[in-house]
Amino acid sequence: MRRLEDLERAHPELQNRDSPTLSVGAPGETELDTIEHAERMLSLDNVFSLDELREWCAKTRAAAGRDVAWLTELKIDGLALNLRYENGSLTSAATRGDGRIGELVTQNALRLADVPERLAGYGHPALVEVRGEVFIPVAAFEELNALQAELRERAYAESREKWEHVRSAGKKAFDEEARRRSAERRFPAFANPRNAASGGLRQDLDKKEGLELEAGEARLGSLRLYVHGIGAWPDPPVAAQSEVYELLAGWGLPTSPHTRVLATDAELADFVHHYGENRASVEHELDGIVVKVDELALHAELAETSRAPRWAIAYKYPPEEVQTRLIDIRVGVGRTGRATPYAVMEPKLVAGSEVSRATLHNQEVVVHKGVLIGDLVVLRKAGDVIPEVLGPVAEARDGSERAFVMPTECPECGHELRPMKEGDIDLRCSNPRTCPAQVRGRVEHIGSRGALDIEALGEVAAAALTRPARNAQTGEELAPLLPTEEGLFDLELERIVPLEVVVTDPETGEDRVGDDGEPVRRAPFQRIEKVYPPGWEDATPAERRRAGVRKDHLIVHPSAQAVKLLEELERAKTKELWRLLVSLNIRHVGPVAARALAAYFGSLDAIRAAGRDELAAVEGVGPIIADALLDWFEADWHRVIVDRWVAAGVRFSIPDHPGPGAASAAGGVLAGLTVVATGALEGYTRDGAQEAIVQAGGKAASSVSKKTDFVAAGPGAGSKLAKAESLGVRVLDAEQFRILVTEGPGALPPAEA
């Protein structure tokens, strides 16, 4: 996140509107109702060492212009909750959501002992939002998992009992394994308190009964809350955050016992050190320390960035490290042919989830880390997310370990692995055209959001189309339907429906194996309808049972995904040129470069006809991408792809484009102007608005700065609109935007004063 922030500061034009730096959290996939918070719920910026913390304190003191009292708290590893109280009564409780809009969990929140429906005392404000963290205490978490184990046993016992009671003709033997698995799925062990808390708060108890209800109630009952802030309260009657906590405690809200007000850097370091050593003594899981400026007047003065306040910081403890056995080092091949060694380890729980794989990047990293196959290794999650092997526990060696040898042949197609150019560390498979791993990766990339955005062309569909398959009904072995991506737009329903394929893990390229040890097979393009054998359609259930007749006659239909895939492919043929350029899998040509190329040249033919200098001179392209384009056109088989796609109806041009460079050469009505489009602009899609700006010779930027000339804002425009207003940048509605991109700024009505 920090690197991304630095990069975006240096290159604001590269900041996408969906950049994680602009959002506070991810919107969850859920069916809960939502509510807009009265005041945005922000996140916290992080520091990872005491030096960085001291630096932040010094910077904050300098910005404040005086000495600052620090309020220190524990960073509770739970989930944020926003309690809205109006005149002392709880009117809603919501999760953080994306920071602006949260999910409503009022009914569940009201069942928590820590959440008062009415605040104690009197003199409550008309509206106040109380923010806090919901968590499951460590001890309660253990009890909860013990209960899950018990419920698993009871579920299993219940299913056996049912089996014994329901005696029917032709009944199959009791499948112990399957029943155990089913009980495990119903009552799994929770990986960590945080996930258990999040699911617990968002469940719908009304939809549960029996053992599930019992589990759900226990989960809700184990939730606790500590409040750590307020929102939407313009003038609280206190001067410091620590006093806010006293006030909230007086209203009957739970505050953390671990909060302190400290004065010096040395005291802060002691606090950090103390809880680093005594994490286990705290009732909840914590992943760091939060340091806040205590004085409220300074909060307003220091203000906030787009995602976090400047008056608070989170100090994150170093990630948890565990040891596990390195069983093997294997090599995966990706879309670009790069061969990546990765560690296969005995599964181990680290920072809340089970890890058994970690990338080792390339053969030199393996040597540099000094790990041998068979070693006990130290494993952690970088940034608490990405598994990383740190190195071996050399003392634990017994001599049976062996060194990894980078293969010289592609594990997928057997062709030679070699560096693309002299001096490259990475090795690549030398068979880009038909290496199944590369074709699979490219086809998946074609379907991805930044390319042709074909929802039905995901991981499984791409595998089914590019791997050797078998006919799901006859078992006949089938050669890959797409040995290369050439035939993608010629697919036919009859050919794809029968395909059944082994699913691979996208990260490792390994075949997935099911609980039964068999490879996981999928037939994504068919839907099976089970019907009774001829003559039995109209029999009563009792008759069928007596005769032991089951629904075992099968009719194969195309699945909804199959139909959708072909429809989406048809639509994709005339999508924006830049998307089609991205889908060609040309090195370095992602959405940004592709947009620049499309806007300047207007067609693939014009790009192909251009020389290196002309390509490199286009803003947003440059020499590296120019070379990549020339290299790409060199390969005959790339031209075959284009020709076949064109023959199938793919349109590699922008209709009515005036020709290479015309927009900028003729000046264009927006030449020299920078425009930001935000929110829903009527008559334009997001991409369409950007394209209109570029086509008119302007620069389509994604963030607002002093250099921005116009901001076109529609409904849903957020911080960019606010920023434009604060900088005095002229804001246009959709109709004015249309005038701007077609007739230029001179045609706009005068700005209101």
User: Is 75 among the residues known to form the active site?
Assistant: yes
Asked if 290 is part of the footprint of ligand IVH (rule: CB under 6 A), the reply reads yes
Q: Is 673 in the site for ligand IVH (CB under 6 A)?
A: no
Angle at 26 between CA 22 and CA 29, to 5 degrees: 150
Q: Does the footprint of ligand IVH cover residue 44 (CB under 6 A)?
A: yes
Q: Which of 88, 137, 229, 341 binds ligand IVH (CB under 6 A)?
A: 229
Q: In this chain, which stretch among 37-45, 335-343, 463-471, 668-676 interacts with ligand IVH, using CB under 6 A?
A: 37-45
Which C-beta is closer to ligand IVH: that of 228 or that of 445?
228
Which member of 102, 309, 432, 480 binds ligand IVH (CB under 6 A)? 309
Q: Does residue 76 belong to the site contacting ligand IVH (CB under 6 A)?
A: yes
Binding to ligand IVH by residue 284, rule CB under 6 A? no
**Can you state the angle between helices 734-743 and 686-695, rounded to 10 degrees?**
30
Q: Does 201 bind ligand IVH (CB under 6 A)?
A: no
How near is the Cβ of 44 to ligand IVH at its closest, in Å? Answer: 4
Taking CB under 6 A as the binding criterion, the range among 119-127, 275-283, 307-315, 390-398 that sits at the site for ligand IVH is 307-315
Question: In the set 37, 75, 442, 575, which binds ligand IVH (CB under 6 A)?
Answer: 75
Asked if 99 interacts with ligand IVH (CB under 6 A), we say no
Q: Which entry of 75, 292, 316, 723 is annotated as an active-site residue?
A: 75
Selected binder of ligand IVH within 105, 312, 615, 618 (CB under 6 A): 312
Provide DSSP, 635-671.
-HHHHHHHHHHHHTT---B-TT---TTHHHHT--TTT
Q: CB of residue 80 vs ligand IVH: minimum separation in angstroms?
A: 3
Nearest to 327 by CA among 401, 238, 235, 425: 401
102 binds ligand IVH (CB under 6 A): no
Total residues found in the chain within this entry: 753
Q: How far is CA 733 from the centre of its chain?
A: 32
Determine if 105 is a binding residue for ligand IVH (CB under 6 A). Answer: no
Residue 504, token pair as written in the block: 């691979």
CB of 82 to ligand IVH, least distance (A): 10
Residue choice 43, 583, 585, 603 for contact with ligand IVH (CB under 6 A): 43
Round the CA-based radius of gyration of the chain to a whole number and report it: 30
Binding of ligand IVH by 310 (CB under 6 A): no
Q: What is the smallest separation between the CB atom of 556 and ligand IVH, expressed in angstroms?
A: 50
Instruction: Pick one of 112, 314, 345, 597: the residue that binds ligand IVH (CB under 6 A).
Output: 314
- Cβ proximity to ligand IVH: between 76 and 469 the closer is 76
- Secondary structure element (H or E) that encloses residue 315, with its range: strand 312-316
Q: Is there a contact between 294 and 241 (Cβ–Cβ < 8 Å)?
A: yes
- Minimum distance, C-beta of residue 135 to ligand IVH, in the bound complex (Å): 9
Q: Among residues 255 and 695, whose Cβ is nearest to ligand IVH? A: 255
The SS3 assignment for 357 reads strand
Q: Which is it for the CA torsion 534, 537, 538, 540, positive or negative?
A: positive
Alpha-carbon span 199 to 208, nearest angstrom: 14
Write out the DSSP string of 36-97. Answer: E-SSPPP---EE-SHHHHHHHHHHHHHHHTS--PEEEEEEESSEEEEEEEETTEEEEEEE-T
The per-residue b/e assignment along 522-543, b for 16 or more CB within 10 angstroms, e otherwise, is bbbbbeeeeeeeeeeeeeeeee
For the beta sheet containing 499-502, the strands, ordered from the edge strand earlier in sequence to the opposite edge, are: 477-478, 469-471, 499-502, 521-522
Residues serving a catalytic function are 75
Residues near ligand IVH, by CB under 6 A:
42-44, 73, 75-76, 80, 133, 228-229, 290, 309, 312, 314
